[in-house]
Chains A and B, each alone.
Chain A
Amino acid sequence: MRETSDIMATVRMLQEENLDVRTVTMGINLNSCMAATGEQTALQVGEKIRLKAGSLVRVCDQCSTRYGLPIVNKRLAVSPVSILLEGRGRAEALEIARAMDEAAAEVGVNLIGGFTALVQKGMTPGERTLIESLPAVLSGTGRVCASVQVGSTKAGMNVDAVKLIASTILRIAEATREQKGFGCAKFVVFANMPEDNPFMAGAYLGAGEPDCVINVGVSGPGVVKRAVERLVAGRPDCTLDDIAEEIKHTAFRVTRVGELIGREVAERLGIQFGVLDLSLAPTPRVGDSVGEIYQAMGLEKLGAPGTTAAVSLLNDAVKKGGAFASSSVGGLSGAFLPVMEDHALAQAVREGTLSLEKLEAMTAVCSVGLDMIPVPGDVPAEALAGMIMDEAAIGIANAKTTAVRLIPVPGGKAGDEVSFGGLFGSATIAGVRCPAGGAAFVNRGGHIPAPLRGLTN
């Protein structure tokens, strides 16, 4: 007989603390779908998605029942669609995106990532086509998510691409004006983009990955928060290393649950298991917030001095627990800071304790960047480009992933409330300080060379 206290601890994590598998994401390589025409390519893209992912939802549901564990999202991530767009135009890009959208709907997944281009060193015609097609694609489809890599520690930063993307973000926002710029919530700009990230909107299947693979994103900020709360309640004078130790042990359990699900889904589907991404991904629900973890540690106001250190502590402890739990840790694997999707972060922005600048500092020690942050609709493209460059610079210099998912809200002003509903949440539009002050620097364009840290050989 197992210890009943152990059994009930697991039951509590599931029934009361929102432990779930946030996403089971099937990666599918679409390179074999390249055909003589855009129409034929789109047809083959749809067929391959249906062939590979037709049983994904059913199998996930079986595993969810077996373990009494919710699998919140079933998703797809495909190889960079820009490869299929060489020699094609924007109309064909939209046709392929629609084929992805329809196939994703048919197999029952809610999002499909991989409408992606990697342009950190330069841009092919197909990659330019992909970026220029984004306003039409993200307004004309419901499930397709897009991402572009603009920099890496090895390659440096493609500032010309950043400029193009910044103006494209404004056009995406305008194309989805009726949804308050929601199209931008499905588009991420990366530096050092992981090839196996299962989380949206940045999931794609990179080079070197299998033809078809299962990657899993676990979550459980609620579980970590409750663990910290219990520790603090039992030992009010506990130190930060005590808290780190508690988080590490909790992350171990959360990670192992994810690996169990990922391996079983892959086994049942007869495909390879890839990685487990142990990022702490919040939802707008109370009790499922990363910000609440920092509050449980003792940060009364998010954004107060000490917040970056708290993020660093959490990120490090989660990684240490996860690394011991599984040899298949990959993806982003760190704490997320998506403002709209985390009610505690959104509240801190609303109250003015958490600014864009403080969020940027926090991203230097966790896995993502300025994520799901609504900004005024009249923000200049140069300001967006500068913010992307700042985040990319943090990632490039520190050999880590950073990302930007900013949402210019058409007609929206700093301080206005915006809500997308559901998992995408709500927040106050954040003010951008000195939006035109960096325009001359940004407009020089060109390429920022790779840092010395990139010369590792």
Chain B
Amino acid sequence: MSAGRKRFVLSVLVPDRVGILRDISTAVAGLGANIDGISQTVAAGYFTVILTVTLDKSTSAETVRQAVTDAFPPGEASVIVRDYERRAARVSHPDTDRYVFTATGADRRGILKAVTTYLADKGINIEDWYVSFDGENVTHVGEVSVPSILDIQQVQSDLQQRLNPLGMTVGFQHENIFRVTHEVGAVRPLIVGRGNA
């Protein structure tokens, strides 16, 4: 980022419809901003997006928030804008492995709390989480970073002990098995260099 420029992080929540990103990007472009990061998803008909934007240092967070809010009909969008903090962008601890958590079964209260509490206690960082419903059944899929020092068998056992009584079938597997079954790239680069880890 060049001198005289400033970075903000921007979050927008709005009922999903065609043209939302167009409206947001038009608003920030009008302030002279460059969008340099974006992640969006739709859950239960609500569109949510997080962007990072870089613009002139003299621009305030409130100015950005107002510009984006004004891009929508009154009351349609919830907008949050904050100064970007570099420490928030720290990368995952290098001694971690990516695992995928899955749980399926009849939906009931307390499932997510039980899982996330356990993961947090073990220092396992949630990178992404998705929940879907099929009638009475729910499926949780989470991508997580697991410190390499953890005993995976113990983690698997702990999760089963917590969730099996709730009627959930649980999986906790290294991401490579999902990569090899659904990507066409070579397998060898996923393995080489692991040694006796």
A275 within 8 A of B: no
The B interface is mostly helix, strand or loop, or mixed, namely: mixed
- Summarize A's interface: helix, strand, loop or mixed: helix
Q: Binary interface profile of A, 106-133, with partner B (CB < 8 Å = 1, else 0)? A: 0000000000000000000000000000
A260 to B, closest residue via Cβ: B180
Give the residue name and chain of the A residue nearest to B185 (CB).
Answer: A256
A3: Cβ under 8 A from any B Cβ: yes
Is A326 within 8 A of B187, CB to CB?
yes
Residue contact B180 to A268, C-beta cutoff 8 Å: no
| Residues of chain A with a CB closer than 8 A to B194's CB | 264, 267-268
Q: Which segment, of B58-66, B67-75, B83-91, B171-179, faces chain A?
A: B171-179
CB pair A267–B195 under 8 Å, yes or no, is: yes
The residues in B between 35 and 62 inclusive whose CB is less than 8 angstroms from any CB of A are: none
CB of A68 closer than 8 Å to a CB of B: yes
B152 touches A65 (CB 8 A): yes
Asked if A444 is at the interface (CB within 8 A of a chain B CB), the reply is no
Q: A2-B178, A259-B180, A260-B190 are in contact. Are A8 and B102 (CB under 8 A)?
A: yes
| Complex interface: chain B residues within 8 A of A68 (CB) | 156, 171-173, 177
Per the bound structure, the CA–CA distance linking A9 and B100 in Å amounts to 13
Nearest to B140 among chain A residues (CB) is: A4
Give the number of chain B interface residues (Cβ < 8 Å).
33
A260–B196 contact, CB under 8 A? no
Give CA–CA (A53, B88) in the complex, Å.
Answer: 47
- Report yes or no: B190 in contact with A15, Cβ–Cβ below 8 A: no
Q: Chain B 147-179, CB within 8 Å of chain A: the 1/0 string?
A: 000001100100000000000010111111110
Whether B171 lies near A15 (C-beta < 8 A) is yes
Point out the residue from A8, A13, A256 that lies within 8 Å of B187, measured CB to CB: A256
Q: Which of B178, B190, B195 contacts A7 (CB 8 A)?
A: B178
* A320 located at the interface, meaning its Cβ lies under 8 Å from any Cβ of chain B in the complex: no
Q: Is the CB of A66 within 8 A of B174?
A: yes
Cβ-defined contact, B156 with A260, below 8 A: no
**In the complex, chain A residues whose CB is within 8 Å of the CB of B176:** 67, 260
Min CB distance A247 to B, Å, is 15
CB-based contact B141/A8 at 8 Å:
yes
Least Cβ–Cβ distance between A251 and chain B, in angstroms: 12
Q: Kindly list chain A residues whose C-beta atoms are within 8 Å of the C-beta of B139.
A: 4, 8
> In the complex, what's the smallest C-beta–C-beta distance from B42 to chain A, in angstroms?
13
Closest to B197 in A: A268
**Contact (A259, B187) CB under 8 Å given A2-B182, A10-B182, A15-B171:** yes
Cα–Cα distance between A69 and B102 once the two chains are bound (Å) = 14
Q: Do A15 and B182 touch across chains, with their CB atoms under 8 A apart?
A: no
State whether A11 touches B171 (Cβ < 8 A): yes
A267 touches B182 (CB 8 A): no
**A8 vs B137: C-alpha distance in the bound complex, in angstroms?**
14
Contact partners of B178 in chain A: CB under 8 A: 2, 6-7, 10
In the assembled complex, B2 has its CB within 8 A of some CB on chain A? no
Tell me if A356 counts as interface (CB < 8 A to partner B): no
B188 touching A7, Cβ below 8 Å: no
Task: Tell me, yes or no, whether B120 is within 8 Å of chain A by CB.
Answer: no
Residues of A within 8 A of B181 (CB): 6, 9-10, 13, 253, 256-257
In the bound complex, residues from chain A placing their C-beta under 8 Å from that of B18 are none
User: Does B128 sit within 8 A of A, measured CB to CB?
Assistant: yes
Q: Choose one: A7, A256, A260, A267; the contact of B100 (CB below 8 Å).
A: A7
Q: Is B3 an interface residue (CB 8 A)?
A: no
Q: Which of A237-287 contact B (CB under 8 A)?
A: 253, 256-257, 259-260, 263-264, 267-268, 270
Using a CB–CB cutoff of 8 Å, the interface residues on chain A facing chain B are 1-4, 6-11, 13-15, 65-69, 253, 256-257, 259-260, 263-264, 267-268, 270, 326
Subset of 28 A-B contacts with CB under 8 Å: A1-B128, A1-B130, A7-B100, A7-B102, A7-B178, A8-B104, A10-B177, A11-B102, A11-B104, A11-B171, A15-B171, A65-B153, A65-B156, A67-B173, A67-B174, A68-B156, A68-B173, A68-B177, A253-B180, A256-B181, A256-B187, A257-B177, A259-B180, A260-B190, A263-B187, A264-B194, A267-B192, A267-B195
Given contacts A4-B130, A13-B181, A260-B187, 16 further A-B contacts (CB under 8 A): A1-B130, A2-B100, A2-B182, A6-B178, A7-B100, A7-B102, A11-B104, A15-B171, A65-B152, A253-B181, A256-B180, A259-B187, A260-B177, A263-B188, A267-B192, A267-B195
Nearest 7 pairs of A and B residues by beta carbon: A68-B173, A256-B180, A6-B182, A253-B181, A67-B177, A263-B191, A1-B128
